[in-house]
Amino acid sequence: MIDLSQTSSQTAQKSSTRKPFSLGKTTLTVVSVLTYMFLYIPIIILVLYSFTTDAFGARLTGFTLSWYEQLWRDQRLMGATLNTLYVAFVSMIVSTIIGTMTALALERFRFRGRAVYDAFLYLPVVIPEIVMALSLLAFFSFAFNLIRQLTGIQLRNGLATVIISHIAFSISFVVIVVRASLRGFDQRMEEAAYDLGANSWQTFWRITFPLILPGIIGGGLLAFTISLDDFIISFFTTGPGTSLLPVEVYSQVKRAVTPKINAISTLMLAVSMTLVVLSQVVQRPRT
Amino acid sequence: MNDGIAIELDDIVKSFGDVNAVDHVSMQIRDGEFFSMLGPSGCGKTTTLRMIAGFEFPTSGRLKIHGKEMGNTPPYRRPVNTVFQSYALFPHMTVAQNVAFGLEMKRVPKEQIKERVQKALELVRLPTFGDRYPRQMSGGQQQRVALARALVNEPEVLLLDEPLGALDQKLRKEMQFELKRIQEELGITFIFVTHDQEEALTMSDRIAVMNAGRVLQIGTPTEIYERPNCRFVADFIGESNFIEGTVRASNGQYATIETSDGLEMQGYTEQPVSVGSSVVLSLRPEKARLSTVNGNNSQKHEANTFPAKVERVSYIGSDTRIIVRLASGRTIDVWEQNTRSTLDRDAYWQPGEAAILSCSVENALILTS
Ligand SMILES: Nc1ncnc2c1ncn2[C@@H]1O[C@H](COP(=O)(O)OP(=O)(O)OP(=O)(O)O)[C@@H](O)[C@H]1O
Ligand SMILES: [Mg+2]
């Protein structure tokens, strides 16, 4: 009932600073250096070759910006670039909106079949892209057949089908990123807002949205990047006459690798890297 | 208009699945009262508070705020505000924006908001902190911001869920004082949840002691401590010696009990007890007295007097805590205040010493069950 032995024994813990095993440290350093070399040397070579004067882009014979200039004048390549940016932009906007709403629904509501719905959402991330591409292709031809039979209008694959496919593909990624930020979100913030007189709408826009915005932006940028460099799905779902940058690059490479291809690759690399860095920056936890 | 009753809970039940988190709770909280809910972890304090705030709705029973039935009224339409245990400050807003939030939701004019925010920050003694972000403040300061954010709305009732739980001892004492000052200054009803009995005793006008979803006793701190109505309350608030026995004689507010180890004791009871019923006698250690065998003390003539032997002694500065053993083998805790400053060894009890244990009839409370 009453504890009379009130001895507060505090054992001081001495932190011992042990030297890491130096052979292990050396090994790890070597392995990491090799890994980074393995990852980045090809990319560095690609970037260097985009500036070479050698017409076959196989040797470093001198420095020139002429390939970038030629890019600018290549109608096909520029058209494909614009198409790609357009597709990436639209699919980013749409998939971010749908993905965010889906993430909110999955995190907030308990409904029947939630677990199943949950599992199916991640499927597009893990199934082979070629399967995804073929199934989309099959779906479009089925849908267009149906529409033709019902209305007599014949639709064809084109930018719209690519956009729809990219949206379908990107939603999962957006959901994953937004859900991660919702998990870290303290729901008591919302209760506090209700308590202070805010209704659900006001609470969402004043509290929830600003707090998960980094996650939403991160998800959107990811969707943009994925769309930007997607080859397989774009290749299968695009129509004649509408070309996308990765597909166009591929078809030019089949003929000959010129430093012009290296130049456009370097530009794509720059854009992708900027976006990835950007998405990391906005998702960085505030301190 | 509403008989001075701020909150009325009428037979409230809240179940989660087949667990009754709150089990037939009824209480009335008066206007301007500092009312505490005290109980062990999981007894339903937070759930009760959340039902008043409107975050949860009762499974059955009725809840009225100022005479108005709440039913399914959402939190944002109730005249109450909450101070959360975790503070729940909005991290993307400055302190001033946090405090202004409630007023903005009520569409108070801008100039007025600024003025009231400043006044609220002055009330919690943070007048110059408006431009900081919550993360740039200490725990105690965040606590005050949470308080200002709630108080600025001039709620009729303020709900506080263990608001001082995360603070260290010193800051806690300071904030207890601040809270009490603010409550008295504004005259708002405070409903304060805590599992710290000392905090509840020092701050409250009245306390509800809860256990396992039920309210066991509601009363002033003195009533709760001096006249607990059951063993749980006597045990939870402060310390006590419990002596079980059977009623041998009963005379209104006084009764004589006999214990299994053959002791006969007289005690005081609020409700008459019937002869033959089994009861428990509660004796607070500071109300038991110990005297030397050969001294001629008047205590020896008290109703409850037993020869005892000192078993253990611990000196804790203000008090000396002694465990004595009676002839029957039973041990009793006795606390003696050290009222005399001395190093004389003879002034303190020594283990093995013989003594007389006594307590007055009024200090031996008979509790049923
Ligand atoms: N949302 C919920 N779902 C299921 N059970 C719940 C829920 N909320 C509370 N409970 C249960 O109800 C009981 C009372 O919980 P409550 O949070 O009210 O306790 P408390 O008195 O505030 O405890 P503490 O002092 O630990 O905060 C507990 O047994 C708890 O497990
Ligand atoms: Mg609680």
- Tell me: the pLDDT tens digits for B12-40? 999 998 889 999 999 999 999 999 999 99
Residue A249 has pLDDT above 90, yes or no: no
* ipTM of the predicted assembly exceeds 0.90: no
B64 and B190 assigned to the same domain: yes
Is residue B357 within 8 A of residue B289, CB to CB? The reply is yes
Quickly state the pLDDT bin for A238 (edges 50, 70, 90).
confident
Task: For residue A195, give the nearest of B82, B240, B285 by CB distance.
Answer: B82
Å from CA of B71 to ligand 2 middle: 23
Q: What are the two backbone dihedrals, phi and then psi, of residue B30, each rounded to the nearest 5 degrees?
A: -85, 160
B41 and B75 assigned to the same domain: yes
B219 and B100 assigned to the same domain: yes
- Say what the pLDDT of residue B298 is: 56
Pick from B9, B14, B15, B16 the residue to mutate for probing ligand 1's pocket: most ligand atoms within 8 Å of its CB.
B16
B245 and B320 assigned to the same domain: no
- Say what the pLDDT of residue A19 is: 56
- Say what the pLDDT of residue B43 is: 92
Is residue B327 within 8 A of residue B240, CB to CB? The reply is no
Distance separating alpha carbons of residues B340 and B7, to the nearest angstrom: 48
Q: pLDDT for A178-220, tens place per residue?
A: 998 888 888 889 999 999 999 999 999 999 999 999 889 989 9
What is the mean predicted confidence (pLDDT) over B349-369?
89
Quick check: is B100 in a domain? yes
Distance separating alpha carbons of residues A160 and B311, to the nearest angstrom: 90
- Say what the pLDDT of residue A269 is: 87
Q: pLDDT for B239-296, tens place per residue?
A: 999 999 999 988 888 999 998 888 889 999 988 888 888 999 999 999 998 888 876 5
Give me the amino acid identity at B194.
T
How far, in Å, are A78, A93, A149, A234, A282 from residue A227 at the CA level? 17, 12, 32, 9, 20
Mean pLDDT is lowest, of A251-260, B171-180, B307-316, for A251-260
- Say what the pLDDT of residue A21 is: 61
Quick check: is B365 in a domain? no
Residue B108 has pLDDT above 70, yes or no: yes
Q: What are the structure tokens assigned to B232, written together?
A: 């749980």
Quick check: is B366 in a domain? no
Distance separating alpha carbons of residues A95 and A144, to the nearest angstrom: 23
Residue A4 has pLDDT above 70, yes or no: no
Residue B1 has pLDDT above 50, yes or no: no
Q: What is the CATH number of the domain that holds B192?
A: 3.40.50.300
B159 and B90 assigned to the same domain: yes
Point out the ligand 1 atom lying closest to the alpha carbon of residue B49. 18
Give burial (CB, 10 Å; 0-12/13-18/19+) of A257: middle
Distance separating alpha carbons of residues B158 and B35, to the nearest angstrom: 10
Residues contacting residue A229 through CB under 8 Å, at least 6 positions apart: A246, A268, A272
What is the mean predicted confidence (pLDDT) over B288-311?
78
- Say what the pLDDT of residue A13 is: 42
What is the mean predicted confidence (pLDDT) over B41-61?
93
How many domains does one find in chain B?
3
- Say what the pLDDT of residue A252 is: 84
B121 and B174 assigned to the same domain: yes
**B256-260 contact pairs (CB < 8 A, 24+):** B257/B281, B257/B366, B259/B328, B259/B330
Q: pLDDT for B253-269, tens place per residue?
A: 899 999 888 888 999 99
> Among residues B231, B252, B270, which one ends one of the domains?
B231
If one counts every other C-beta atom within 10 angstroms of the C-beta of residue A14, the result is 6
Distance separating alpha carbons of residues A140 and A161, to the nearest angstrom: 8
Residue A146 has pLDDT above 60, yes or no: yes
The answer to whether the CB of B43 is under 6 A from ligand 1 is yes
- Say what the pLDDT of residue B4 is: 86
List the residue whose alpha carbon is closest to atom 10 of ligand 1.
B21
Instruction: Please report where in the chains the tokens 């976006």 appear, as a residue.
Output: A275
- Say what the pLDDT of residue A198 is: 92
Quickly state the pLDDT bin for A8 (edges 50, 70, 90).
very low
Quick check: is A171 in a domain? yes
- Say what the pLDDT of residue A247 is: 87
Quick check: is B108 in a domain? yes
Partners of residue A186 in chain B, C-beta under 8 Å: 86, 88
B172 and B225 assigned to the same domain: yes
- The CA-CA-CA angle for residues B307, B313, B318, to 5°, reads 115
Name the helix (H) or strand (E) containing B283.
Answer: strand B278-283
Residues contacting residue A11 through CB under 8 Å, at least 6 positions apart: none
Quickly state the pLDDT bin for A112 (edges 50, 70, 90).
confident
Is residue B343 within 8 A of residue B363, CB to CB? The reply is no
- Cβ A197–B84 below 8 Å, yes or no? no
Q: pLDDT for B131-178, tens place per residue?
A: 999 999 988 899 899 999 999 998 989 999 998 887 788 888 888 888
Domain of B345 in residue numbering reads as 285-360
B108 and B209 assigned to the same domain: yes
B187 and B329 assigned to the same domain: no
List the residue whose alpha carbon is closest to atom 29 of ligand 1.
B42
- Cβ B76–A5 below 8 Å, yes or no? no
Q: pLDDT for A64-109, tens place per residue?
A: 888 888 888 888 888 888 999 999 999 999 999 999 999 998 888 7
Beta-bridge partners for B292 = B355
Residue B367 has pLDDT above 60, yes or no: yes
Quickly state the pLDDT bin for A57 (edges 50, 70, 90).
confident
B158 and B266 assigned to the same domain: no
- Say what the pLDDT of residue B297 is: 58
Q: How many CB pairs under 8 A join A and B?
A: 77
Quick check: is A238 in a domain? yes
Distance separating alpha carbons of residues B195 and B43, to the nearest angstrom: 10
- Say what the pLDDT of residue A285 is: 59
Pick the closest to residue B290 from B351, B354, B226 (CA basis): B354
**Beta strands B354-359 and B289-292: pairing type?**
antiparallel
What's the half-sphere exposure (Cβ side, CA atoms, 13 Å) at B170?
0
What is the mean predicted confidence (pLDDT) over B80-106?
92
Strands across the sheet with B214-219, in order? B80-83, B157-161, B189-194, B34-38, B206-211, B214-219
Quick check: is A242 in a domain? yes
Residue A173 has pLDDT above 50, yes or no: yes
The answer to whether the CB of B149 is under 6 A from ligand 1 is no
Pick the closest to residue A227 from A59, A108, A132, A89 (CA basis): A89
- Say what the pLDDT of residue A256 is: 77
- Say what the pLDDT of residue A3 is: 44
Q: What is the rounded average pLDDT for all residues in chain B? A: 90
